[in-house]
Chains A and B, each alone.
Chain A
Amino acid sequence: MSHSATTDQLITAGEPTLQRNRAIDRFMRHKLAVAGIAMIVFLVLVCFVGPYLLPFDDLFIDIRHRFAPPFVSVHVLGTDPLGRDHLARLMMAGRISLTIGFAAMIMAVCLGTVIGAVAGYYGGVIGAVLMRFVDAMLCFPSIFLILAIAAFIHPGVISITIIIALTSWMEVARVVEAQIKSLRERDFAVAAELMGGSDRYIIFRELLPNAIGPIVVAATLNVANAILMESYISFLGYGIQPPTPSWGNMLNNAQQYLQKAPWLAMFPGLAITIAVTSFNFIGDGLRDALDPRLDH
């Protein structure tokens, strides 16, 4: 899924065919990144298709089998204190957590791209003001900022997604600003300007397509961060509220049963770690593939 998106974006970037293939080659040689993509595809399939294949609903309460340990009964990953199937809940939680991760990333990338592009293209006072705003936002430790806002509002999937996006667009803005600033001095940008292209045309049609590589890398790392942030605030009780499961709030409930049912804490955390690690690996691979200057 992520892979085809990357390829598409690379093609629209309009770079010479030879170089495009080289980027894909370089990416495919990054074994961990390829493994990351496989892992994400697997997780998405399991979470979005899996629940239809299970004999249990995630809300079905099997009170006689509460606290069933994993790998011994029909409840493959055991059950929780109410006797709900842990695997079914894990899948439904994955839907929420992954969706929030992707949705928050898209919002953050749009916001960061617009602010970064405006700051980089116009520069001067506008650019300085916008970039100081970015700097100031980066001074706030993200969890403090998210929690302070989340406490004010009614927590739901959409509001949590928006809050995460509003506190994680700054890296993208920095990346885009730096790119646009250097690209707009290049000959092709000057030519487009002399030909009478509007600012919007130059930014979106000439400059941004050439900055797509770093944006894609930042976007991938942003998904990892968004999934992590959602799990933090849900774990702390200010994110997704039960009975809607998310990987984070499943761990919130698990803490008090640590002694009696450690598997309740084991699997959701493992799922978060696998998802976040995969996105980080993909981001790393993309960086190596899209930026040939960085040779490490």
Chain B
Amino acid sequence: MLKFLIQRSLQNVLLLWVVSMIGFAVLYLAPGGPLAQFALVPGMSQEQLLKIAEQMGLNRPIHEQYWEWFTRLASGDWGHSYRDGQPVLWIIGSHLLATLELMGTSSIIAVIVGVWVGVLGAIKRYSLFDYLATIGAMIALSIPTFWFGLITIYVFSVKLGILPPGNMYTIGNGSFWDYVHHLIAPSLVLGLVTVALWSRYMRSSMLDVINQDYIRTARAKGVPERQVLTRHAMRNALLPMITVAGLQLPTLLSGALVTETIFTWPGMGRLFLDSLSYRDYPVVMGILVLSAVLVLIGNLLADILYAVADPRIRMN
């Protein structure tokens, strides 16, 4: 197990390094590069631009610049926002929790519904329910999140008036129930895509398990069918879902960005878009790198958890 842990951690450190290089490349190799935001300032002369370039060390070799950028990143100095001068990490940190709350809530809903639909679909394979669930999941994966969000707002806020169209709290009301009331619509919208993924993966995982010999043995022993399905089949079918949870992280983060924008949820995704429109590159780059790091950590955790839960994985 220790060997597995060390091996995986080393792999991920290597991957983190490649991720940082891509982040650096996006910032520095894109047209205009890090100077782009200064070039837009009215009245900026070419000489001033050159001076700024020198101050920022842009005339030095690219690998030196990268190394400096990387060491600062690694030591937690992610620069300061152009907008209000706050440290980038602090700004992101103050928005991260809202995103995690949204992603967490939607994931809980998605897992419960998705696992249920997937298991039922596998048990009643090729039934009307299975057929409708498969088509439904396909369509759910194809609906643009922002459009689904707009429809949700139109139906539940504009027409029925039972859910707030956005924000985290009603102004002047900071109660927990008010917060929950605001969380319902965005988490359902964000959950739509992941619930489809969960149900499809759960269905195929359950189908894999259900045809195994030990399930037949359990049935032959006279274990009640319900118990065979829950205790024997579902428990094992759920194991690969740990990996699925890790793999879904990029989708979930992308979805959160869109959902937060539609519902003006004060999270990291909305901060990213706000920063883009202000050309606040330190924050943009910070969120870009951080989102990749979050995905990396999520996948590593999923790997380790899976290895803990299923000893067969550690062997190869």
Instruction: List the interface of chain A (C-beta within 8 A of B).
Output: 32, 132-133, 135-145, 147-149, 151-153, 224, 228, 231-232, 235-238, 248, 251, 254-255, 258-259, 262, 265, 268-269, 272-273, 276-277, 280-281, 284, 296
Given known A-B contacts A141-B291, A273-B142, A147 and B272 have beta carbons under 8 A apart: yes
Q: Which of B66-74, B84-92, B148-156, B220-228 contacts A (4 or more CB under 8 A)?
A: B148-156
Q: Judge whether B93 is part of the interface by a CB distance below 8 angstroms.
A: no
Q: Return the contact of B154 from the options A139, A235, A262, A281 (Cβ within 8 A).
A: A262
**With a CB–CB cut-off of 8 A, which chain B residues contact A145?**
26, 288
**With a CB–CB cut-off of 8 A, which chain B residues contact A141?**
249-251, 253-254, 257, 291-292, 295
Q: Judge whether B204 is part of the interface by a CB distance below 8 angstroms.
A: yes
Chain A residue with Cβ nearest B268: A144
**With a CB–CB cut-off of 8 A, which chain A residues contact B258?**
143, 232, 235-236
Q: Return the contact of B142 from the options A151, A228, A251, A254 (Cβ within 8 A).
A: A228
Chain A residue with Cβ nearest B299: A139
Chain B residue with Cβ nearest A32: B135
**With a CB–CB cut-off of 8 A, which chain A residues contact B299?**
139
Tell me if B154 and A258 are in contact (CB < 8 A): yes
Tell me if B288 and A148 are in contact (CB < 8 A): yes
Tell me if B276 and A147 are in contact (CB < 8 A): yes
Q: Return the contact of B147 from the options A140, A148, A251 (Cβ within 8 A).
A: A251
Tell me if A142 and B254 are in contact (CB < 8 A): yes
Chain B residue with Cβ nearest A221: B141
Interface of chain A, helix or strand or loop or mixed? helix
8 contacts between A and B (CB under 8 A): A139-B293, A144-B272, A248-B144, A251-B146, A259-B158, A273-B139, A277-B138, A296-B207
Chain A residue with Cβ nearest B208: A296
Q: Given known contacts A32-B135, A136-B22, A262-B154, what 16 new A-B pairs fall within 8 Å (CB)?
A: A139-B293, A140-B288, A141-B253, A141-B257, A141-B295, A144-B254, A144-B272, A144-B287, A147-B276, A152-B32, A153-B30, A235-B146, A236-B258, A265-B150, A277-B138, A277-B142
B: interface residue count bin: 35 or more
Q: Return the contact of B22 from the options A140, A238, A248, A268 (Cβ within 8 A).
A: A140
Shortest beta-carbon distance from B258 to chain A in Å: 6
**With a CB–CB cut-off of 8 A, which chain B residues contact A132?**
14-15, 18
**With a CB–CB cut-off of 8 A, which chain B residues contact A147?**
272-273, 276
Q: Which of B109-163 contact A (CB under 8 A)?
A: 135, 138-139, 141-147, 150-151, 153-154, 158
Given known A-B contacts A132-B15, A132-B18, A228-B142, A265 and B147 have beta carbons under 8 A apart: yes
Q: Which of B15-73 contact A (CB under 8 A)?
A: 15, 18-19, 21-22, 26, 30-32, 36
**With a CB–CB cut-off of 8 A, which chain A residues contact B279?**
151
Tell me if B144 and A273 are in contact (CB < 8 A): yes
Given known A-B contacts A139-B19, A148-B26, A269-B151, A284 and B138 have beta carbons under 8 A apart: yes
Q: Return the contact of A144 from the options B261, B291, B296 (Cβ within 8 A).
A: B291
Instruction: List the interface of chain B (C-beta within 8 A of A).
Output: 14-15, 18-19, 21-22, 26, 30-32, 36, 135, 138-139, 141-147, 150-151, 153-154, 158, 204, 207, 249-251, 253-254, 257-258, 261, 272-273, 276-277, 279, 284-285, 287-288, 291-293, 295-296, 299
Measured between alpha carbons, how far is A254 from B158 in the docked complex, in Å? 14
Tell me if B150 and A281 are in contact (CB < 8 A): no
Measured between alpha carbons, how far is A252 from B153 in the docked complex, in Å? 15
Tell me if A140 and B295 are in contact (CB < 8 A): yes
Tell me if B291 and A269 are in contact (CB < 8 A): no
Shortest beta-carbon distance from A119 to chain B in Å: 14
Q: For A145, A259, A268, which residue has the most chain B Cβ atoms within 10 angstroms?
A: A145
Shortest beta-carbon distance from B297 to chain A in Å: 10
**With a CB–CB cut-off of 8 A, which chain A residues contact B292?**
136, 139-141
Tell me if B272 and A139 are in contact (CB < 8 A): no
Measured between alpha carbons, how far is A239 from B26 in the docked complex, in Å? 17
Tell me if B147 and A152 are in contact (CB < 8 A): no
Measured between alpha carbons, how far is A140 from B146 in the docked complex, in Å? 20
Given known A-B contacts A132-B15, A143-B254, A228-B144, A265 and B154 have beta carbons under 8 A apart: yes
**With a CB–CB cut-off of 8 A, which chain A residues contact B18?**
132-133, 135-136
Q: Return the contact of A139 from the options B145, B254, B295 (Cβ within 8 A).
A: B295
**With a CB–CB cut-off of 8 A, which chain A residues contact B32?**
152
Measured between alpha carbons, how far is A259 from B153 in the docked complex, in Å? 10
Nearest 5 CB-CB pairings of A with B: A269-B147, A136-B18, A276-B142, A152-B30, A141-B253
Q: For A136, A142, A228, A281, which residue has the most chain B Cβ atoms within 10 angstroms?
A: A136
**With a CB–CB cut-off of 8 A, which chain B residues contact A232?**
144-146, 254, 258
Given known A-B contacts A133-B18, A135-B15, A272-B144, A144 and B288 have beta carbons under 8 A apart: yes
Chain A residue with Cβ nearest B293: A139
Shortest beta-carbon distance from A126 to chain B in Å: 15
Tell me if A236 and B19 are in contact (CB < 8 A): no
Shortest beta-carbon distance from A127 to chain B in Å: 15
Chain B residue with Cβ nearest A251: B147
**With a CB–CB cut-off of 8 A, which chain B residues contact A254?**
150
**With a CB–CB cut-off of 8 A, which chain A residues contact B31?**
152-153
Measured between alpha carbons, how far is A140 from B272 in the docked complex, in Å? 14
**With a CB–CB cut-off of 8 A, which chain A residues contact B19?**
136, 139-140
Measured between alpha carbons, how far is A296 from B135 in the docked complex, in Å? 14
